Amino acid sequence: MAGCWRPWWPCFWVSGACVGAPASRNGRRDADLSDRVPKPCYNRPIPPCEDHHVAFTPEDVRKCAQLARLALSEEEIVIQSRHIAELLERFKTLQQLDLDGIEPTSHCLAVSNVFREDHPEDPLPREQAL
């Protein structure tokens, strides 16, 4: 298997041998290990998502509710699957925006810490502090 099977997985392979692989009895790592296991890496770009219609079925809602340990009725499951489908449709409109030249941000506002000037002073005497 050649290629990157999980682009978000860290690189553990150096010169064809697994860095974390235990040494064999003779002290060498298994040389053909790289032929049997795919080489994960970070440095390949993740391909852009294609325009797929994502259907979020009631079965998906049921599975998520089970994982979150939520008891939902059948009516709630149908309603929530519609809400999630509408939300995914709204995200489709965001994917159509031209974002070339816009830097990724973690916050929509320019946020910076404001620090006051530091004026060193003598510490309080022990009696006054207690």
Q: Name 21's Cβ contacts closer than 8 Å, sequence gap at least 6.
A: 29, 30, 33
- In 3D space, the residue among 14, 51, 46 whose CA is nearest the CA of residue 33 turns out to be 14
Give the dihedral sign, CA 13/14/20/22.
positive
Whole-number pLDDT of residue 15: 42
User: Model confidence at 75, in pLDDT bands (50, 70, 90)?
Assistant: very high
Going from the N-terminus, what domains does the chain have, and what CATH number goes with each?
1-47 (no CATH), 58-95 (1.10.20)
Mean pLDDT on 41-51: 57
- Of 25-29, 54-58, 92-96, the one with minimum mean pLDDT is 25-29
- C-alpha distances out from residue 65 to 46, 73, 118, Å: 30, 10, 52
Whole-number pLDDT of residue 9: 40
* Spatial separation of the C-alpha atoms in residues 61 and 83, rounded to whole Å: 11
